[in-house]
């Protein structure tokens, strides 16, 4: 089972949640062999309906005491740019796409994502970029699908 895990941490990031459950993004994930998408949605107001089909599962939750198990089981992590989420994902050696929340003031998350990308640890984008291009991970390389 190939699994993508999305985390927004303890905040809300409805734009990211809406982007990853958009039909075009789900279809791209499926086309790359992903058959499970797990969303940790924090205190957001966008709450996708979990579902299971023969070929794909969407699981949704707000919080857990620890994300350790979800990170260990993930083949791809898509995360907000919080320092804790980024570092925990990288410590697990997981491919990481960080989506910067453009709506935050004094956006330190952008600077963190930019620096970690510069050092070769992750790929980052904004939610508008993620929505438009559905940036995901395939075969050891980050790629964009238009």
pLDDT tens, 12-68? 999 999 999 998 888 888 888 899 999 999 999 999 999 999 999 999 999 999 999
32/27 Cα distance (integer angstroms): 9
In 3D space, the residue among 112, 79, 107 whose CA is nearest the CA of residue 95 turns out to be 79
Residue 19 · residue 88 · CB < 8 Å: no
Indicate the Cα dihedral angle 78, 82, 83, 85, nearest 10°.
-40
Condensed to tens digits (0 to 9), the pLDDT of residues 130-143 reads: 654 555 655 556 65
Residue 62 · residue 28 · CB < 8 Å: no
């Amino acid at each position: 089972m190939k699994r993508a895990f999305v985390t927004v941490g303890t905040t809300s990031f409805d734009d990211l949640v809406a982007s990853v459950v958009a039909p075009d993004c789900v279809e791209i994930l499926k086309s790359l062999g992903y058959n499970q998408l797990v969303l940790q949605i924090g205190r957001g107001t966008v709450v996708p309906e979990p579902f299971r089909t023969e070929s794909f599962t969407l699981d949704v939750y707000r919080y857990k005491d620890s994300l350790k198990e979800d990170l260990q089981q993930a083949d791809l992590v898509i995360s907000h740019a919080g320092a804790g989420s980024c570092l925990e994902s990288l410590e697990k050696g997981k491919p990481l796409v960080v989506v910067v929340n453009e709506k935050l003031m004094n956006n330190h998350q952008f600077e963190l994502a930019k620096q970690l990308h510069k050092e070769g640890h992750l790929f980052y984008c904004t939610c508008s970029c993620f929505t438009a291009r559905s940036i995901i991970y395939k075969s050891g390389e980050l790629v964009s699908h238009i």
